[in-house]
Chains A and B, each alone.
Chain A
Amino acid sequence: TQLLEQSPQFLSIQEGENLTVYCNSSSVFSSLQWYRQEPGEGPVLLVTVVTGGEVKKLKRLTFQFGDARKDSSLHITAAQPGDTGLYLCAGGGGANNLFFGTGTRLTVIP
């Protein structure tokens, strides 16, 4: 089983603050995906990173894939209440099933 550990597990911040969440594994992944899940809904794909060292930006969200393709980070600049949700990283995929991380539950307080 390929384990993906995310930290922190819970994060509560004020609107306008910056934050970083981490996704770590001892396994090498061909790609990593980040999802956000809001209450009562299924996860929604935010980004897929494929190349070691790759950095992708999605508005105020910056995703980085580690050089060794074992870890990833998500940085949010100037967090907004709409960023509240459960952030999940997932590795594997392709023709195989995805392994999901333990999740980071983010609350942004107005």
Chain B
Amino acid sequence: KAGVTQTPRYLIKTRGQQVTLSCSPISGHRSVSWYQQTPGQGLQFLFEYFSETQRNKGNFPGRFSGRQFSNSRSEMNVSTLELGDSALYLCASRSLPDSPLHFGNGTRLTVT
């Protein structure tokens, strides 16, 4: 069974630009969560989608948004990038809201 796939693996953007990250969950998993990981703040929850609906949202500004498609694939968008958005963005999927999380290998975003 293929794991969680995130694309791209690396991304370099300039301040003020926007970026879209993609996540393909494990086949059959309907829940996708996004996390931001930085050395200073650790892993912080962004949002979770289940069956195309946002179930939970973390404490991030509105510049961070996401969506989930009917095939459970998910995208995360960050607009008006700031230097502080440089981080490893991790996607995780699970079959049900209370099942264990399976993480992808992340997208490393660098904002210059």
Q: Which residues of A contact B (CB under 8 A)?
A: 1, 33, 40-45, 48, 88, 90, 93-103
Contacts and interface: CB of A to CB of B under 8 A. Distances in A.
A107 B104 CA distance: 23
A42 B103 contact: yes
A103 B55 CA distance: 26
Contacts of B98: 93-95
Interface in B26-81: 33, 35, 42-45, 48, 55-56, 58-59
Contacts of B45: 97-100
Given A97-B56, A98-B45, A33 B103 contact: no
Contacts, number: 48
A2 B55 CA distance: 19
B90 interface: yes
Interface of B: 4, 33, 35, 42-45, 48, 55-56, 58-59, 90, 92, 97-98, 100-106
B42 A97 contact: no
A41 B105 contact: yes
B92 to A, nearest CB: 7
23 contacts: A1-B59, A33-B100, A41-B105, A42-B4, A42-B92, A43-B90, A43-B103, A45-B102, A48-B100, A90-B43, A93-B101, A94-B98, A95-B55, A95-B97, A96-B56, A97-B33, A97-B56, A98-B101, A99-B45, A100-B44, A100-B45, A101-B42, A103-B43
